[in-house]
Structures are given as C-alpha cells and as structure tokens.
Chain A
Amino acid sequence: MTALAIPVFTGVVVLVLYSAIFFRRRAGEPLYDGPPVYGGARLQLTWIVVSFVLVLVLALLGITTLVSSQAAQAVGASGRAIGSGSETGSPIKETNNELQVQVIAQQWYFTYRFPDYGGVETTHLELPVGVPVEFHVTSLDIIHSWWAYELGVKADANPGVDNQFHATPQRTGSFTVRCAELCGIWHGEMADTEGRVVSGSDFNSWIKQQQATFAEIGKSLPSYAPSYFPEPLTKGT
C-alpha cells in the first residue's frame, strides 16, 4: 500500500509546487488571464480511470489479505511483531487444536479465562508459541478494546458479545496489552506489559501454577460462558 501511496503523494506535491513556482505571477507582472481551457476530455478520463483502477487494486489487495487471513502485521513496527492475527469473517477453519482464550474486559483491566483448563481465570496472559489461538473477547461493563500490538490483533470488548478472532504467536517474546477504546478515567492506565509468548512446556507449567493460585477464587466465579449477563428480566423487576 505504501508503494502506491508514496508515488501518488509525491506526484501531486510535485505538480502543486511546480505550478506554484513556475506558473506564478511574478512581482510587478501585470495581472493577466490564463488560457481559457475548460478541461481536456482525454486528461480527465485518464485521471478518472487511473484513480479508479488504483483504488480497486488497493481494495482487492485488502480483501484478499482479509479473507486469506494472511498476517495482519503491526504495520510500521514489524520488527517488534511476534505474532500474526486475523479476525473473524475469514474462512480459516476453526480447527479443534486452537487454544481457547476468553478475554474479559472491565474497568480498568483485562482478565483471561481458559475453558480448556477448567475455566481458570488469570490476570496476565501467557501463550504457547506456534499454537493457533482463538480469542473470545467480551466485556462486563462498557466498551473496551483489547489491543495486543505485537500480536497484531485488536478487538472491541462489548458487553454481551462474544467477539472472536484468531492469532498465532510465531516466536517467543513479550507483548503489551492496551485498551484501544475510551473507557473512562483510567483508560490510559489500562495496559499490561506482562504478556508473554513462551514455549509449550513453560506454558503448561504456567497454567498449572495459575490453576493452583486461583483455585480458591475460581469457586466463586460463574461457570464459563460466551458472555456474562445478569439474570434475564421478568415482569415485576
């Protein structure tokens, strides 16, 4: 995309500057009118066709990237990227070996539940390298947005919605999680720098340790669900 943007940008800027410098009315020059040309049909047609084709190419590129679930890399900082995400809507097969992770947002932190591991809820996120992950993002109060920059994923957390997307961590390292949707006074502080991508065995020991740590708290949690609501309303409430 940048390969297209830079020539377009340079071209227009050069045209503007060229016109402003070489066609300008110099000091003391009398004011006289330019050529009374109302527009060349061929030039206009060329411009229209070229811009149309450029846009279609761009859109096609974008759509293919979207549906083929190629890496939605963190643009501009690919050096920091440690994973690639893709969002829902892509026809990628949801294989059974995807690790299920639920991201629960509330003011002003994220917690994570692992239904594959007895629904344990943790306060930080560690992921095994090379294992595709299916995230389920939801919120308990208002809209947040779960943004793991280095993983190349961002998804809004809406109350009552199970927003799904996929990512595959490609190498070990750490990642930062931020909230990317204004969510009140501590929106800026809603960040966690302790995200880790670790080896499979490290992940297993981490999750066991988490299960042990949060075992007591886990008893008071509601059972795992795609989203969490209070009891349905009935008349008289």
Chain B
Amino acid sequence: MAVADLTTERRLSIPTGIPTGVLLAITGYFAGVWLGNEFGLFDDQNTGIILGYVFATAGFLIGMGFLNHPLGRLLGWRLDPLGEADIEVGLGRYFRLSLDHKVIGIQYLVTILTMLFFGGVGAMVIRTSLLSPTPTIVPAGNYLSVVGLHSVMMIFITSAAIVGPFGNYLVPLMIGSRRMAFPRLEALSFWLVPPAAVILGAATFWGGFPTGWTGYAPLSEQAGQGMDSYIVGFILIGLALITSGVNMLATIIALRAPGLTWARLPIFVWGILCTSILGLLAAPVLAAALVMLALDRSAQTSFFLASNGGSNYLWENLFWFFGHPEVYIFILPAFGIVMELAAHFARRPLFGYRVGVVGLFGVTLLSWFVWQHHLFVSGIAPVLRPFYMLSTELISVPTGFIFLVVLGTLWRSRVWLTVPMLFCLGFLFNFLIGGITGVYLSDVPTDVTLHGSYFSMAHFHYTIMGGEIFAFAAAIYYWFPRMTGKMLNQTLGRIHFWWMFIAFNSTFFPLLIAGLLDMPRRVSAYNPGLQFLNQWVTFSAYLLFSSMILFAANIIYSWFIQPVPAVANPWRARSLEWQIPTPVPARNFERVPLILAGPYDYGLPNAKPVADLRGLVGATGGS
C-alpha cells in the first residue's frame, strides 16, 4: 500500500505568531467570561473571569502554534518531531514559537528583565507611600494591591530568573548536547510566562488583590475579582516550573555527552538539577492548593472556610509546603553560579567539589521538612515546633558547605576581580546576612517577636534580592558575551556593582531594625516614631532602583547602541560552553563532543582539554 502522501511533511496552514495569539487570547477571554456567566453554578463573576483567563491563555498558546503539532499528530500526519525545519535565523525567531534552546534563553532573558522593571516600579510606589506614616500619598487600598502585584510579580521573576535564561541557554552547551530532551515543553515553559504576567497585571482592572504573595485564605476568598488573576497567573507559573523541571532533568540525566560523568558535571548544572527537582515536585502542590482556592471562589466549595467544614490551616500547610522549597528554587541556581564563577576567576580547581554537590542536595532534601517554620505562631501543632526549629537550623549546615567551597577556592589563589566576580563577592556578603537573620527567624522564641515583621521582610530580600538577583547580575555579566557575542561595558559594570551593593544594604539593613522596633509587614500606616528610618530607606530604595536603571542602560548600550564584539572566550575559562564558536552554531556542536576532563582543572601541568569537539569517532548519537 503506497501511502506516499502520509509520509510527506505536512503542517497546518494557520498563520501562527504573536498577532494570532493575541487575537485568540482576546476571543478566548470573552468566550470564557460569557460561558462562566451564563452557565456558572453560582451568580458571581469569578467563574467567568477564571474561565476567561484560562481560555485566553489557551487561545494565546494555540495562536502561537502549540496546537499544530499535537493536532497534526492526532490527524496522523508525519511531523518533524524536533522541529528541525523551525531552526531559522534572523530577528523574527525571537518573536515566534521557537524550539531552539538558545532562542528560548534569550526570550526568557528579555522577558525577565522587562518584568523586573515593572516589579521594581511597584517597589518604588510602596516605598514612596511609606514616606508618610499614614496612607496619604497612596490610598490604603491601592497600596495593598501594589504590595500584592510587586510581590507576586517578583516571585514569578525569581522562579525563572536563572533557570529560564541561563539554564535553557547553557545547560545543553555545558553538558555537550545538541538538543534539549523536550524542546516543546521547554518552549511551553517560556510561553506560559508572558500570559501569567499579563494576567497578573490585569488584576489592576479589578482593584488588585489584598493578600500579598501568600494568598492566605479566607482573606483571598473575601477578596474581589483581582484575586482570580493571582490564582490563574500562579497556576501558569506552576505549570512552567513543572514543564521546565521535566525538561531540564531529563536533559541532564539522559543527554550528557559521552565522558561527562557525574563527577565532571559543572557545578552550575548541579544547581539547575537541584532546583529543577524542587520545582518539579513543589509546584504541583501549589497547583492543587490554587485549584481548591479557585473552586472555593467560583463553585462555592469550602476548602478553606472553617464554618463550612474547611480550614485556613489547609491553605497555610499546602502553600508553605510549596512555598519553602520555592525559596530554594530561587537560591540553588544562584549557589551554582557563585561556585562556578569562583573556580573560573580564582583559576584553580573548585575546592571541595563533592562537598558543594552534597551541600546542594542537602538543601534540596531538607527544604521539604521545614515549611511549618512559617507557622510557628499560627497555632498549628505547637508540639512539632522543636522539630521544625531543628530542621530549619540544620539547613544552615549544607548552606555553609557552599561558603566553604567558595572560600576554599578563593584562598591563596589569584582572584581575577572582574565585574561578575564582584557580584559573587557581593552575593556572599548579602547572603551571609540573609542566612544569619534566617537563624533568628527559625528560633521560636525570637520568631515570636520577629514573625510577620519587617525583620522577616528584610531577611528574605537579603536572600532573594541580595542573593539571587546579585547572582543573576553576575551571570549576565559573565555569560552575556556567550549569549550575544557582545561584551557588557566593564566600567559601567563596576559602577553598577558598587552603586547597587551600597544602595541595597542601605535599603534593607535599616529594615531589619524597623522589624526589631515592632513594624509589621505590609502596612500602609505605621508607628510615626519610625518615620525617619522609613524615609532613609525610601531614599536608599530610589538609589537602588536607579542602579538597576544603570544596569538596564548598560545592557541596552552594549547590546544595541555601541556593541563591542567579544573575543572568543573572554574570561579564558576552561568549561565546555566557552569552547565553541560565537555565535553558537545552530545545533551547538557539529558532533557530540567527547568529554576528557573536568571543567575546573586549572593549574594542572598536564591538564587535558575539557573535551574533544570532534566527538567519538563513528558515533552519531544524539544528533
């Protein structure tokens, strides 16, 4: 039986892309709203809005072309499984559904930076309002919605800030692979982020949501329709975490080049591996909790209503069971970056590589057993508090391993104090403060005072902004030449570092003190005695924001306005991602390379090159 027509390549002829996506998204939104309002079980708008957001997202993804492949396969067509035909050049590919992990990395980077700007503007509004101890500058209701938008936007960003741009771009290059395991899932994990951000922003049309990022029920059930944005946006980010986790883990497990044993894996890849484990397993719990919240708000079930057989403790438990691993999702890849860069710039082998890996895994494992330290004063199972206190404080042991590795690597080496290295040192300082203040919060007697105060708020800004965002900046300065072929301006970079470092500490250290002086979080009105402290913080925050503007200016200037082509391997690093030409060829490697040595074998007289790029003779695997 001749089935020639079936074996030829066929594609759906719908024009796909952002315009189609937006069109279908708008259509989907109104269809969902109509459906929910017409057939919803209860007479409230929430069903319609939730369905509207879900349909809009689905419409957007269909318009981007995500349905073409599964639908074509369902119809029995032969489809190119890896989208080889989709590999294209030119600027247009950054605005389309691309299956190239390098394109996705750049898409992520630009998206994250854009979202970071909006999140930062939110922070500025918050700080401006706090110039006055009463909510006169920004009305209390608006203040609260800005707090919510800032926090959730930043959580969206920091969930993906490192895994998204750098994980996607660099992991295949670092492990010597020509592809990702699931390129379609990878693309999906990116294209879920812009709808999530837009849906979150749409909350402003409904008066925002009053709950901060924790979404504590029943406040979140009493809240207006802005809350639906929180639910759907967060579910989308959860899906992005799951899809990216499946893809990253399968890639690292199954697609390492021959010779790349686990002991030779770059420490950054270990960081991505651990964070992917957390994202993969924690996000489903969040998704379940959000589905319950959505049901409560739309179908009037009562998961979290105590008077109706529910419990607000259920939300608190599920949320923090996700929430605490979530904060390690932020920081583990940052640990990876700092250790990676320490070895390359100290130009010596990573001190205690195994201890570093054990540290990463220790944090990964322990992070599942600590969530109730957020609930020490909640009244849930007070008997268990000593256990959670112990497990929380134990996390500082594997975290200490990271410091051991970095300090040991720097010790008696010749540290090359480049801009990325400066950011790594800044990371160490900030994260140290973040970590030590964390111990105070983990101790029940002190937590009774500090919980829910500005102390805990300053603590997590020290770990997330002072930690992850500093590592994020280090990564941008370090890998920008790899990703774009341009050097970022180093002088501007140095100014940026010192400006940001000083402004950051001047912003958040006083907030630790504000917390000690009885200022609760998320308040629009506070003790007038603390006004001077708050004004100081606000002006420092303006400085901090302007340092980020300088950062953005540096990126735009060095990328588009006055690009300086980077020399090949500007940091003269040994690791594999720097051994291939710039720009990175379409399939990364001509052949799958044969790994010969570890990435950090600096200073060895007879060190082999890290890989033989000609690959195994006769091997075609992974093509």
Q: How many Å from the CB of A160 to the closest CB on chain B?
A: 3
Chain A residues with Cβ under 8 A from B410's Cβ? 15-16, 19-20, 23
Chain A residue contacts of B308, Cβ below 8 A: 233
Determine, out of A52-60, A114-122, A205-213, A216-224, the stretch whose residues face the partner at the interface: A52-60
The 3 closest A-B pairs by CB, nearest first: A34-B348, A188-B523, A34-B413
Q: Give 1 or 0 for each of B238-260: 1 = CB within 8 Å of chain A CB.
A: 00000000000000000000000
B-contacting 9-mer, from A125-133, A174-182, A196-204: A174-182
Q: How far is the CA of A47 from the CA of B400 in the complex (A)?
A: 8
Q: How far is the CA of A176 from the CA of B517 in the complex (A)?
A: 12
B397 close to chain A: CB less than 8 A: yes
Cβ of A198 to closest chain B Cβ, rounded Å: 21
State the Cβ distance, B433 to closest chain A Cβ, in Å: 7
Determine if B135 is an interface residue (Cβ-Cβ < 8 Å).
yes
A62 close to B400 (CB less than 8 A): no
- Whether A20 lies near B521 (C-beta < 8 A) is no
Chain A residue numbers with a CB within 8 Å of B400 are 47, 51
CA distance A137 to B181 in the complex (A): 53
Asked if residues A24 and B414 are in contact (CB atoms below 8 Å), the reply is: yes
Give Cα distance in the complex from A77 to B214, angstroms: 29
**Is B604 in contact with chain A by the CB < 8 A criterion?**
yes
Question: Could you tell me if B393 and A59 are in contact, using CB atoms closer than 8 angstroms?
Answer: yes
Q: A191 to B519: give the CA distance in the assembly, Å.
A: 11
Given A65-B445, A88-B382, CB of A55 within 8 Å of CB of B393: yes
Q: How far is the CB of A217 from chain B (nearest CB, A)?
A: 23
Contact B396 A51 (CB under 8 A): yes
Q: Are A230 and B307 in contact (CB under 8 A)?
A: yes
Tell me the chain B residues, 334-360 only, with Cβ under 8 Å from chain A. 346-355
Chain A hits for B517, CB < 8 A:
76-77
Known: A12-B428, A158-B312, A184-B219. A35 touches B412 (CB 8 A): yes
Given A24-B414, A34-B412, A141-B222, decide whether A75 and B602 contact each other with a Cβ distance below 8 A: no
Q: Which of B426-469 contact A (CB under 8 A)?
A: 428-429, 432-433, 436, 439-440, 442-446, 448-453
A161 with B603, Cβ < 8 A, contacts A1-B440, A143-B219 known = no
Interface size on A, residues (CB 8 A): 85
Task: State in angstroms the CA–CA spacing of A23 and B347 once bound together.
Answer: 12
Q: Once the chains are docked, how many angstroms separate the CA of A179 from the CA of B524?
A: 12
Say yes or no: A9-B351 contact (C-beta < 8 A), given A35-B603, A63-B386: no
Give B607 Cβ to nearest chain A Cβ, in Å.
8
Q: Are B516 and A161 in contact (CB under 8 A)?
A: no
> What are 11 contact pairs spanning A and B, CB under 8 A?
A12-B432, A16-B425, A19-B407, A76-B513, A87-B444, A147-B452, A160-B307, A161-B313, A176-B527, A180-B451, A187-B522
How many chain B residues have a CB neighbour from A under 8 Å?
92
Provide the bound-state CA to CA distance between A181 and B374, in Å. Answer: 12
CA distance A122 to B152 in the complex (A): 38
Tell me the chain A residues, 37-95 only, with Cβ under 8 Å from chain B: 37-40, 43-44, 47-48, 51-52, 55, 58-59, 61-63, 65-67, 70, 72-77, 85, 87-89
Known: A5-B439, A44-B355. A188 touches B602 (CB 8 A): no
The answer to the question of A215 belonging to the interface, with a C-beta cut-off of 8 Å to chain B, is no
Given the known A-B contacts A77-B517, A161-B379, are A55 and B348 also in contact in the complex, defined by CB atoms under 8 Å?
no
Q: What is the 8 Å Cβ interface bit string for chain B, positions 416-427, against chain A (1 contact, 0 not)?
A: 110000000100
With A24-B415, A152-B448 given, name 15 new contacts (CB 8 A).
A1-B443, A5-B439, A23-B346, A25-B416, A34-B346, A34-B348, A59-B390, A65-B444, A76-B513, A143-B312, A147-B518, A179-B520, A182-B216, A187-B523, A233-B308
Q: Does B525 contact A (CB under 8 A)?
A: yes
Is the CB of B601 closer than 8 A to any CB of chain A?
yes
A20-B406 Cα distance, complex, nearest whole Å? 12
- B378 contacts the other chain (Cβ, under 8 Å)? yes
Interface residues in chain A, defined as those with a beta carbon under 8 Å from any beta carbon in chain B: 1, 5, 8-9, 12-13, 15-16, 19-20, 23-25, 29, 31-40, 43-44, 47-48, 51-52, 55, 58-59, 61-63, 65-67, 70, 72-77, 85, 87-89, 137, 141-143, 145, 147, 149, 152-156, 158-161, 163-164, 176, 178-189, 191, 229-230, 233
B383 at the interface (CB under 8 A from A): yes
Contact between A52 and B604 (Cβ–Cβ < 8 Å)?
Answer: no
Write out the residue numbers on chain B whose beta carbons fall within 8 Å of the beta carbon of A67. Answer: 386
Near A by CB (< 8 A), chain B positions 528-576 give 572
Cβ contacts under 8 Å, A147 to chain B: 452, 518, 520
In the assembled complex, how far is the CB of residue B472 from the closest CB belonging to chain A, in whole angstroms? 20
User: Are B522 and A33 in contact, CB atoms less than 8 angstroms apart?
Assistant: no
Tell me the bound Cα distance from A23 to B414 in angstroms: 5
Contact of B348 among A36, A158, A185 (CB under 8 A): A36
Q: Is B478 located at the chain interface by the 8 A CB criterion?
A: no
Q: A31–B135 Cα gap in the complex (Å)?
A: 56
B309 at the A/B interface (Cβ < 8 Å)?
yes
Partner pick for B218 among A75, A141, A180, A188, CB 8 A cutoff:
A141
Chain A residues closer than 8 Å to B417, beta-carbon distance:
20, 24-25
A169 to B495, CA, bound (A): 53
Which chain B residues lie closer than 8 Å to A31 at the CB level? Answer: 347, 414, 416, 572
Q: Which of A8, A44, A183 is B219 in contact with, Cβ under 8 Å?
A: A183
A5 B436 Cβ-Cβ under 8 A: yes
A182:B603 contact, CB within 8 angstroms? no
Indicate which residue in B211, B382, B449 contacts A182 across the interface (CB closer than 8 Å): B211
For residue A181, which residues in chain B have a CB less than 8 angstroms away from its CB? 216, 452
B377 at the interface (CB under 8 A from A): yes
Q: Please indicate the chain A residues that have their CB under 8 angstroms from the CB of B429 in the complex.
A: 13, 16
Q: Quote the shortest CB–CB distance from A122 to chain B (angstroms).
A: 23
Residues of A within 8 A of B394 (CB): 55, 59
The verdict on B40 contacting chain A, using a C-beta distance below 8 Å, is no
